[in-house]
């Protein structure tokens, strides 16, 4: 069932694909943030500064909205595959707008988490203890 939802990519399921990239980026952000905090750096985001010490709580906070959006996506996909009921929106224009909005939100979320992951990774690599291990002295 899940493979059929994601493959092949078409106009019915295109908005689900950013989730494939979002989840690894979120996990990577949480892992690199945890490592950076343990190296002595502080969390810059004041909303998660208190939670970033516990990686599971940090990931749980970050994953709530994508899980809710994914649930909405599965509902939209099931509505679309069954056909639209007769009513004020017979062509499904509202569903198309919702799919487009979800795609944009998740795509922007992917960009944000990619930036956070890369930033944390560079901070970790430039830490004196790590840099001494990766770059030969001399």
Tens of pLDDT along 48-105?
788 877 888 888 888 888 888 888 877 777 777 776 566 666 666 777 788 788 888 8
Domain that holds residue 44: 2-134
What's the alpha-carbon Rg for the chain, to the nearest Å? 20
**Total domains, the chain:** 1
Per DSSP, helices labelled H in the chain are 2-6, 18-38, 55-82, 93-125, 128-134
58 touches 51 (CB < 8 A): yes
- HSE at residue 51, side-chain half, CA atoms within 13 A, is 12
């Amino acid at each position: 069932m899940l493979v059929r939802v994601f493959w092949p990519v078409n106009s019915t399921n295109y908005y689900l694909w950013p989730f494939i990239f979002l989840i690894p980026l979120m996990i990577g952000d949480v892992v690199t943030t945890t490592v950076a905090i343990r190296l002595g750096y502080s969390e810059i985001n004041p909303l998660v500064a208190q939670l970033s010490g516990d990686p599971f709580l940090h990931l749980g906070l970050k994953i709530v909205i994508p899980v809710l959006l994914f649930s909405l996506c599965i509902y939209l996909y099931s509505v679309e595959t069954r056909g639209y009921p007769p009513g004020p929106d017979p062509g499904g224009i509202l569903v198309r707008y919702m799919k487009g909005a979800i795609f944009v939100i998740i795509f922007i979320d992917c960009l944000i988490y990619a930036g956070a992951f890369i930033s944390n990774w560079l901070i970790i690599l430039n830490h004196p203890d790590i840099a001494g291990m990766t770059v030969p002295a001399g």
